[in-house]
């Protein structure tokens, strides 16, 4: 619970921050874009591709201002929040485009970027005032931290019970065995004990990490800092674990229970709250990136888990409900785009099915969270397209395949890729009925001759290296090279096309 005095302090600060935004708005309009997504959903790649395509140019026919030749230019400017490190845009683009093309590593810290777009207005009168500007502010952060948002309105006791009940079924039960043994022995009423707390926290962290493994791809794994501690590695605020607590049990002073509850509250107050206050309070629009394909790859349990995690997160945005977030949200988010990322792993003939699965996934989440009022769209996209499409004829069958360079070390059908050779891959067809992916047993995608190792969930979708940058004279480009994508321009048009009119 937040004490009234602290709430007042927070609100006063937000009022000041918003006043500062108001002053900034006098200098030119700005839009704070929330890029929301669990770990590996594709946030860093999306932000890098967005900035690159607007600064350097590329194929963006679905972004009206670009298509109509009204974009004057875009450049990075100092961001409004001086205390947050700058998004390492140049490093990420170098990783993606330079000789040994590779994906940037997982994000370990929060960072921010401000992109100022100059455009000619489509409106006659506005155009006479000179070029318009729009400042886009975007924050990048480790996706694991997003999982902590629902914790803000949960007590230690409720979280403990939920975490233990979740770990008692399916794959989690097996992965949690070592931690369970310790929890069963730990009596919450015993005196507090630092080394026991440490052992419990370590076993709990090991369980969370194994759930996240690609083979299981489970999503609902708070606390996020246990998976990605950032600069909190080894801090006592991270040394806690759920305990076996009976309904209505109260923490008595000096007990293990009290110690764990105190640390849980400290984690929320000193780690989680400041992050969400800085990042979420002032959002205008939001894109929620979802790696549907990895969850599909791992099977029904992973899909259900992804749904559980998204529902818990989205319910915090529920307008009118007295959640911690609803109290600090100072602006109304008027547009939300749900995007299934990495669509380049599939032939485009399957993109509508991917969208249908995502719509089904977030439909449930939105219905439960009553995220009403905002304009919502669903899209299958790829911020950076690592594959091209090829049709392969097998007898009298035409297979719609994708071709790309699998990352070094990836394996399929007994062969190990060297990261240099291109490979043609048939990913199979997604099910026509989106309901089936939540109900079917085990792994989901189709089986084909081209995927002899179908039994191994790791190989269902290969990980491809970033593509060779494309060069096209017909496309207006600053330095001649652009990153291919799928519907990135449609996403940009939805998110801020109206602000470039
Ligand atoms: N083929 C393809 N792979 C992608 C694309 N976007 C992301 N990926 C893959 O997904 C991985 C994760 O993408 P990131 O952008 O780093 O994900 P993130 O959401 O920033 O993840 P965290 O930093 O861990 O929170 C990348 O390393 C790529 O392997 C895409 O458009 N196409
Ligand atoms: Mg990242």
Instruction: Report d(CA 141, CA 231) in Å as an integer.
Output: 13
Q: From atom 7 of ligand 1, which residue's Cα is the shortest distance away?
A: 42
Is the pLDDT score of 1 beyond 60?
no
Q: From atom 11 of ligand 1, which residue's Cα is the shortest distance away?
A: 40
CA atoms within 13 A on the CB side of 167: 28
Our measurement of the distance from residue 22's CA atom to the centroid of its chain's CA atoms, rounded to an integer in Å, reads: 29
User: Mind listing the pLDDT tens digit for each residue in 382-440?
Assistant: 999 999 999 988 888 888 899 999 999 988 878 899 999 999 988 888 888 888 887 75
Strands 71-77 and 111-119, by their bridges, are antiparallel
User: Mind listing the pLDDT tens digit for each residue in 161-218?
Assistant: 999 998 998 888 999 999 999 999 999 999 999 999 999 999 999 999 888 887 777 7
**Are residues 60 and 66 in contact, defined by beta-carbon separation less than 8 angstroms?**
yes
Q: Reduce the secondary structure of 424-486 to three states and give it as a string.
A: EECCCCCCCCCCHHHHCCCCCCCCCCCCCCCCCHHHCCCCECCCCCECCCCCCECCCCECCCE
Is the pLDDT score of 363 beyond 90?
no
The pick from 36, 40, 142 for probing ligand 1's pocket by mutation, whose C-beta has the most ligand atoms within 8 angstroms, reads: 40
Q: Which of 70-84, 94-108, 293-307, 438-452 has the lowest mean pLDDT?
A: 438-452
The pick from 34, 38, 44 for probing ligand 1's pocket by mutation, whose C-beta has the most ligand atoms within 8 angstroms, reads: 44
Enter the tokens of residue 67.
Answer: 């298509």
The pick from 35, 45, 427 for probing ligand 1's pocket by mutation, whose C-beta has the most ligand atoms within 8 angstroms, reads: 45
Instruction: Report d(CA 376, CA 379) in Å as an integer.
Output: 10
Enumerate residues lining ligand 1, CB below 6 A: 37, 39-45, 103-104, 106-107, 142-143, 341-342, 344, 382-384, 386, 463-464
CA of 104 to the centre of ligand 2 (A): 8
Ligand nearest to the CA of 102: 1
Is the pLDDT score of 374 beyond 90?
no
Buried b (16+ CB within 10 A) or exposed e, 296-320: bbbbbbbbbbbbbbbbbbbbbbbee
Q: From atom 6 of ligand 1, which residue's Cα is the shortest distance away?
A: 42
Q: Where are the beta strands (DSSP E) in 185-334?
A: 285-290
Instruction: Report d(CA 294, CA 460) in Å as an integer.
Output: 9
Strands 285-290 and 30-37, by their bridges, are parallel
Enter the tokens of residue 374.
Answer: 């905002």
Which candidate, 242, 246, 281, 289, places its Cα nearest to that of 263? 242
Ligand nearest to the CA of 381: 1
In total, the chain counts a number of residues equal to 501
Closest ligand 1 atom number to CA of residue 108: 23
Phi and psi (nearest 5°) for 409?
A: 95, -15
Phi and psi (nearest 5°) for 451?
A: -125, 70
Across the chain, what does the average pLDDT equal? 84
List CB contacts of 404: < 8 A, sequence separation 6 or more.
Answer: 344, 386, 387, 388, 422, 423, 425, 462, 464, 465, 467
Q: What is the pTM of this model?
A: 0.87
């Amino acid at each position: 619970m937040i004490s009234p005095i602290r709430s007042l302090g927070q609100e006063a600060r937000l009022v000041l921050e918003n006043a500062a935004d108001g002053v900034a708005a006098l200098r030119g309009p700005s839009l704070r874009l929330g890029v929301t997504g669990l770990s590996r959903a594709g946030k860093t790649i999306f932000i890098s591709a967005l900035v690159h395509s607007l600064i350097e140019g590329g194929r963006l026919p679905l972004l009206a201002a670009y298509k109509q030749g009204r974009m004057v230019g875009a450049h990075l400017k100092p961001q409004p929040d001086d205390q947050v490190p700058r998004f390492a845009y140049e490093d990420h683009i170098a990783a993606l485009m330079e000789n040994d093309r590779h994906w940037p590593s997982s994000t370990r810290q929060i960072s921010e970027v401000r992109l100022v777009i100059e455009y000619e207005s489509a409106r006659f009168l506005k155009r006479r005032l000179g070029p318009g500007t729009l400042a886009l502010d975007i924050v990048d952060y480790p996706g694991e931290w997003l999982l902590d948002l629902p914790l803000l309105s949960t007590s230690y006791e409720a979280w403990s019970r939920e975490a233990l009940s979740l770990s008692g079924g399916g794959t989690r039960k097996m992965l949690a065995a070592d931690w369970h043994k310790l929890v069963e022995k730990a009596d919450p009423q015993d005196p507090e004990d630092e080394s026991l707390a440490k052992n419990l926290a370590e076993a709990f962290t090991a369980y969370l990490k194994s759930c996240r493994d690609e083979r299981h791809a489970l999503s609902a794994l708070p606390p996020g800092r246990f998976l990605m501690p950032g600069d909190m590695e080894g801090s006592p605020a991270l040394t806690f674990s759920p305990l076996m607590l009976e309904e209505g049990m109260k923490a008595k002073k000096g007990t293990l229970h009290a110690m764990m509850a105190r640390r849980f509250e400290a984690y929320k107050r000193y780690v989680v709250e400041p992050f969400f206050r800085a990042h979420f309070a002032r959002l205008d629009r939001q894109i929620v990136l979802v790696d549907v394909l990895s969850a599909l790859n791992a099977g029904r349990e992973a899909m259900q888990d992804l749904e559980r995690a998204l529902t818990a997160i989205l319910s915090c945005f529920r307008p009118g409900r007295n959640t911690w977030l609803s109290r600090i949200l100072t602006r109304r988010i008027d547009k939300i785009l749900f995007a299934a990322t990495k669509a380049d792993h599939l032939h485009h003939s399957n993109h509508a099915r991917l969208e249908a699965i995502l719509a089904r996934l977030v439909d449930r989440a939105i219905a439960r969270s009553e995220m009403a009022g905002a304009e919502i769209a669903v899209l299958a996209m790829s911020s950076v397209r690592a594959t091209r499409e090829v049709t392969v004829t097998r007898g009298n069958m035409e297979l719609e395949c994708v071709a790309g360079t699998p990352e070094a070390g990836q394996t399929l059908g007994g062969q190990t890729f060297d990261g240099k050779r291109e490979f043609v891959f048939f990913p199979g067809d997604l099910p026509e009925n989106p309901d089936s992916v939540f109900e079917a047993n085990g792994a989901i995608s189709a089986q084909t001759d081209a995927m002899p190792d179908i039994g191994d969930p790791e190989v269902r979708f290969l990980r491809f290296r970033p593509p060779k940058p494309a060069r096209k004279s017909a496309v207006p480009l600053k330095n001649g090279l652009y990153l291919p994508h799928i519907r990135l321009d449609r996403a940009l048009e939805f998110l801020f096309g109206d602000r470039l009119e």
